[in-house]
Amino acid sequence: MSDTIPFTIDGVAVEGRPGQTILQAADDAGIYIPRLCAHKELHPFGSCRVCTVKVNGRPQSACTMPCAKGMVVENNTPELLEHRRGLVEMLFVEGNHYCMFCEKSGNCELQALAYRLGIMAPRYPFQFPDRNVDASHPDVLIDRNRCILCARCVRASHDLDGKNVFQFVGRGSKKRIWINAEAKLKDTNLDVTDKAVEICPVGAILKKRQGYAVPVGQRLYDHQPIGSDIEAKRAAAAQA
Amino acid sequence: MSELEQGIRQICATFHNDKSRMMDIVQAVQARFGCVSSVALDLIAKAVGTARVEVESTVSFYTFLTDQPKGKIVIRLCSDVIDEMFGMGPVARAFEDALGIKVGQTTPDGAITLEWTACIGMCDQAPAAIINDTVVTYLSTDKAREIVAELRKSGDPRKLVHRLGDGHNAHPLVRSMVHNSIRRKGPVVFADLPPGSALRKALAMSPVEVIRDVKTSRLRGRGGAGFPAGMKWEFTRQSEGERKIVICNADEGEPGTFKDRVILTEYADLLFEGMAIAGYAIGAKEGILYLRGEYAYMRPLLDHILQVRRDAGLLGREVCGKRGFDFDIRIQLGAGAYVCGEETSLISSCEGLRGDPKNRPPFPAQKGYLGCPTSVNNVETYCCVARILDRGPGWFAEIGSKGSPGTKLFSVSGDCASPGVYEYPFGVKLIELLRDVGAEDAAAVQVGGPSGHLVGPADYNRSLEYDDLATGGSIVIFNKDRNVVHVVRKYLEFFVEESCGYCTPCRVGNVLLLQKIEDILHGRGTPADLAYLEQLAKTVKVTSRCGLGQTSPNPVLSLLKSFRPVLEALVKPQADEFLPTFDIRAALGSTEDLIGRKSVVFTP
Amino acid sequence: MAKPKVATASLAGCFGCHMSILDIDERILQLIELVDFDKSPVDDIKEFTGRCAVGLIEGGCCNEENVRVLKDFRKHCDILISVGECAICGGIPAMRNTIPLKECMDEAYRNGPSVYNPTGVYPNDPALPLVLNKVYPCHEVVKIDYHLQGCPPPADTIWQALVALLTNKPMDLPYELIKYD
C-alpha cells in the first residue's frame, strides 16, 4: 500500500501524506494557497475563507479539507482570485486598518496578501466600526480595530499556552474578540511570552515597546510577496 | 453565600456540573435571576470548571440570552416581512405608545421590555409576538393596547390567552391561542398512527433491515438539502464509537416556515416514534430533540408525551421489551439563533457552545455531538420514517415523484386566501398549490424561504420537488402591490442579524449586500450596481463556510435573475459629478444643526 | 500640439503626498517636458484654466470645501487619481469617524486640554467650511479612475504612474512600489 496520496493542484501533480490537508500538502509541494486564519502550529479553523479552492468543482477551504486520492484542485484561477480579493477587501472595510501608523505594517499578513492580490483600493464602502483598544496589560496591547477574527490567539492560548485568555463574544457583525476577564487584559493570566501574543497575523495583538524595530525596506514583505518562501521550494526542486 | 451563588450552584448541580449542558444552565439562571450577569458568569464558570469567557461566549451568542437585566416581561415582536405586510408597523407603534418606550427599550419601572425578533413561526396568523413564552397572534393596534393594559394589571402573559386554539393548542399543558391551520391532509404525515405500531414492526426486524427499508423508500431529508436518510443512518451506524446519538432538528427558523410547529403540536408521537426507530437502526441510546426557543410554549406538552411513551414502554430501558435496546429522548431548548438550524451549529448548541457551525469533514455521522457519530434529521423526516416502517417502503416510494418520493408539508403564508399547512405529494406544480391556497394572481413567490428562490409567474409551472424547485417547505406569496426589492431587503436584514460571524463572507458580505440593496431602494443605485451585487453575491455564496452564507445571497441572485426589470427601473445613470451614494445633505446635516448655520456652498 | 495638463490638490491631507511628487527630483524637468501644470499648489494656480488630462488628489473629504474642490476636479479632469492613504481610505483624519461629531467638536473647541474658549461657542465664521459628518474617501464621493497607495506613495510610484498614463501605456507597477505605508 502506498503511503502517499496523489492528486493535482492546477494540473500540477502533488503527493499528499495521510492526514494532511490540501493546504499542508500544497505547502510541502511548494504551491502557495493564500491563507490568513491558518497557521502551521494550530489546528485548522476555516474562518477567513481566503484559501477557498475548488475540489472536483466544489468550493472547499483548503486548510480544513483533507487531501484525497485523485482529487482535482483548482487554486490559481481568475474566479478564485477574484473571490479572494473580495474577501481581503471585506476584511479591510470591516475594521479600521490604518497601515500608515500600524506597528505591524510590512510584517502584516493581511496587508501582504492585499499586495500579492494587487488590491489598490477596496470596492466596498468602509464601515468605520467603533472598536476599542485595551492597553491595560503591562506588556501587551489589543487593538480591536485591526482584528480580523481569525481565532489564532484563541487557538494558541488554548492549545499551545494551555490557557483560555481569548474567546469570541457576540455574533454576526457584532462578533468581537474578547478576554477571560470582566473588562481588562491586565486581569487575565496572559504573559508576554505566550504564543497567543506573537501569532496574530495583523496588528491586533502586539507586544509593547517593540513597534517599528525593523526599518522600512527590511521588513518581511517589503520586497517579496507573501508565499514566496513556499514557492521557492518548488523552484528549488525544479532546479535540482 | 449569596442567593445568586446558592442558586447557581444548585442549577449547575442539577445538570451534573456538566459544561456541555451550558444551554440549560444559562437558561435556568436567566429564568431565575432575570439575566446571566457578570457575577453569574464567574460563578457558572467556577461550578462547571470552565473559563468565564467561554460562558460569556455562549450567552452573548443567543438572542434570548442576556447579561443585562431586562423587564420581567419581554415582548418580542416578529420582524418578518409577512408580519410587516399584515400590519406589524402600526402594531409596533401602538405598543410603543402604550408602553411609552421604543422597541429595544425597557419601561423605566423595569417591568416590560419591547424587542424585535426574527420569524417566530406564526406567519399564518400574523402579525404575532411572543410575550415571555406566550404566543399572541392576529395582533392589531387595539389588541396591542389591550395587551399592555392586561400586562400592567396582572403581570402575567398567560392571562392574555382568552380563546384557545384548536387541537392540542387547547391542551391544559399548552393553553395557547395558536391555530394549527392544517388545510390539506396527506397520507404520510397528517394521518393517524397508533403509538408503537411502527416501532414494533421495526423492532421485529434487524437494524440493518430497518436501514434497508428506509433506503428502499428513497426517503430524502425534509430540511431542504435532501440527503438520503437511509445513507446517513448507514454511515452513522458504521462509524466507530460505542456511543451514538439521534438528533431531531426542530429549530424551524426559516422565515415563513411553521409546519414543524403543527407536527410538534399534533403529531409528536409520530415524530418520537421515528426517532426511536432511528435509534434502533443506528445503534443509539440517546435522542435529542432540539426545540427552537420560540416554541418553548410546547415544551410541557412534549415532556408529557415523552413521559407517556416511557410509561407505555415506548421509551426507556428495553423499548417494547426488546432486549438490548434502550432509548430515551431529551429536549434541548434553543435560545433564538436561526443558524442553529444548520446541523453542525445545532450540535455545537447541544454541546453548550456558541452556535457556530463545525468544519466538515468530519461529518456528524462520523463525529458529531461530543465527538460521537450522530444522525441529525428534520422533524418531518422522522415522521416519514415512522410511516415507512408502518406501511412499507414500497407504499411510500409510490407516492410523489421519481426523484422525490413521499409527501411534503408546505407552510403557506402571505397574500393568499387560505394560509396554513398543506400536505402534497412531491412533484405538485406550484400553480396547483397557488390555486388551492387562493393565490392565482400571485406576482412573486418565495419558495423555500429566504434561503430559497424568489420566482415569478414564468416559473409557476415548475414542480415542487428536489430536482426542480427544491424547498424545505416554506411558500411565501406576494401580490402585485408588494415591492420585491423591499422583500429582499427584509430577508438580508434577517441574514445579517442571524449570521454567526464565524466566516468573513457571511459576516461582512451580507452587510454589504444589504447596504447596496438599500442604496438601490433609496434611488442611490447606478446600473453598475447590478454587476457589483452579482459579484458580491457570488463571492458570499461560493466562499461561505456553511449553508447560511451559501444561500443568503439567493434573494439577491433571484432578484437579478427573475425580477431584473424591477431593479433596472430603480437604478439610474450618474447624473452629475457626485456618486449617487454620496449624499451631501446627509453629510452636512448634523454639522448644520450643531453649528446653527447652513452651508452656502451646497444649498438644498 | 499643446502639452496635456495636470492638476493637483490636497484635501484633508498633510501635503506629504505633494512632497512625494516633488521628490521625483530632477525628473521634474522631464515631467515639465511632458505636461503643463494647471490648478495646483505647485504653481499656485487657484482655479482651473481649462480641461486637464490628469488630476491628482491628495487627502479625503472632511469638509464641504474638500467636496467642492473634488467635484471641480472630476468636472475638469479626464483621469482622476487618488494619491495616498487619506484619499483612498480617509487616513488619519478618518480616525474621527468612529467618534460622534459632537464629541469631536467639543474636544477640539471646548474641552481639549489646550483649548481656551470661555464662551463655549464653536468657531462659526461664514468663511470657515463646514465639516462633514465623517471623513469620506474620495472614491465614495466621486468616481476615481486610479489609486496610488502609500503614505505617501513613493516618488517612483507617482512618476511611473504618470508617465504610463501620459504615454498611453498600461500602469503596471512593480511589487515594491505598491505599499500602504
Q: Mind giving me the DSSP string for B137-153?
A: -S--HHHHHHHHHHHHH
Q: Would you tell me which residues 102-141 of chain C have a C-beta closer than 8 angstroms to some C-beta of chain A?
A: 134, 137, 139-140
pLDDT at A130: 95
pLDDT at B216 over 90: yes
Work out the pLDDT band at B573, boundaries 50, 70, 90: confident
Q: Cβ(B40)–Cβ(B8) under 8 Å?
A: yes
Taking only the tens place, the pLDDT of each residue in B287-342 is: 999 999 999 999 999 999 999 999 999 999 999 999 999 999 999 999 999 999 99
Instruction: Look at B544 and C28; give whichever has higher pLDDT.
Output: B544
**CA gap C49, C57 in Å, rounded:** 17
Domain around B438: 409-478
Mean pLDDT of chain B: 96
Last residue of a domain, which of B478, B500, B523?
Answer: B478
Do B283 and B228 belong to one domain? yes
CB contact under 8 A, C71 and B599: no
Partners of A130 on chain C (C-beta within 8 Å) are 98-99
pLDDT tens-digit series, residues B488-541: 999 999 999 999 999 999 999 999 999 999 999 999 999 999 999 999 999 999
B109-133: per-residue pLDDT in tens? 999 999 999 999 999 999 999 999 9
Task: Count Cβ atoms within 10 A of the Cβ of residue B68 and give its class: 0-12 exposed, 13-18 middle, 19 or more buried.
Answer: exposed
Percentage of residues in chain A having pLDDT higher than 70: 99
Q: Which residues of C touch A100 (CB under 8 A)?
A: 85, 91-92, 151, 180-181
Indicate whether B601 belongs to any domain: no
One-letter amino acid identity for B297?
Y
Put simply, the answer to whether A127 touches B535 (Cβ < 8 Å) is: no
Query: Could you read off the pLDDT of B459-480 as tens digits, one per residue?
Result: 999 999 999 999 889 999 999 9
Could you tell me the residue ranges of all domains in chain C? 5-96+134-177
Q: pLDDT tens digit string along A66-77?
A: 999 999 999 999
Identify the band that residue B552 occupies on the pLDDT scale cut at 50, 70 and 90.
very high
β-strand A176-179 against A166-169: which pairing, if any? antiparallel
State the CATH class of domain A5-76.
Answer: alpha beta
A94-207 CATH: 3.30.70.20
CA distance B199 to B188: 16
Q: What is the pLDDT of residue A207?
A: 97
Chain B hits for A47, CB-CB cut-off 8 Å, are: 502-504, 545
Chain B interface includes A119 (CB < 8 A):
no
- Residue B68's pLDDT is 94
Mean pLDDT of the C28-46 span: 92
B238 and B364 within one domain: yes
CB-closest option in A124, A175, A178 to B501: A175
Span B357-381, average pLDDT: 97
Last residue of a domain, one of B420, B445, B478: B478
Does residue B337 sit at the A interface (CB-CB below 8 Å)? yes
Which ranges in chain A are annotated with CATH 3.30.70.20? 94-207
Neighbours of B119 (CB within 10 A): 29
pLDDT in tens, B155-205: 999 999 999 999 999 999 999 999 999 999 999 999 999 999 999 999 999
Q: Tell me: domain C5-96+134-177, CATH 3.40.50.740, correct?
A: no
> Which residue has cell 431584473?
B564
Pair B356, B493 in one domain:
no
pLDDT exceeds cutoff 50 at A1:
no
Domain-embedded: residue B404: no
A120 to C89: CB separation less than 8 angstroms, yes or no? no
Give the span between the Cα atoms of C154 and A217, in whole angstroms. 12
CATH code for position B507: 1.20.1440.230
- Given an 8 Å threshold on Cβ–Cβ distance, is B499 in contact with A66? no
pTM above 0.95, yes or no: yes
Counting as contact any 3 or more CB pairs under 8 A, the partners of A are B, C
Looking at residue C1, its pLDDT comes to 61
Q: Considering its fold, how many domains does chain B have in total?
A: 5
Best residue in A171, A175, A184 for a mutation probing chain B (most B CBs within 10 Å): A171
Query: By percentage, how much of chain B surpasses pLDDT 90?
Result: 96
Same domain, B257 and B278: yes
The answer to whether B2 faces chain C, any CB pair under 8 Å, is: no
Q: B183, B329, B361: which is closest to B247 by C-alpha?
A: B329
| C3 at interface of B, judged by CB pairs closer than 8 A | no
Q: Does A126 contact C90 at a Cβ distance shorter than 8 Å?
A: yes
Whether B580 is in a domain gets the answer no
Cβ pair B582:C102 closer than 8 A = no
pLDDT at B49: 97
pLDDT value at residue B34: 95
Q: Assess whether B473 and B491 both reside in one domain.
A: no
- Range list of β-strands (E), B255-347: 286-291, 328-333
**B223 within domain boundaries:** yes
Contacts of B168 (CB under 8 A, 6+ apart): B174, B265, B266, B301
Task: Provide the pLDDT for residue B466.
Answer: 94
Mutation target to probe the A interface, by most A beta carbons within 10 A, among C89, C95, C158 is C89
Q: What is the mean pLDDT of residues C60-88?
A: 97
How far apart are the C-alpha atoms of A143 and A97, rounded to whole Å? 10
Residues B489, B566 within the same domain: yes
Q: Residue B577: its pLDDT value, please?
A: 72
Kindly indicate whether the ipTM for this predicted assembly is greater than 0.95, answering yes or no.
yes
CB contact under 8 A, B507 and A172: yes
Q: For residue B504, what is the nearest residue in chain A, using CA coordinates?
A: A48
pLDDT at A2 over 80: no
Q: Where in chain A is the domain with CATH 3.10.20.740?
A: 5-76
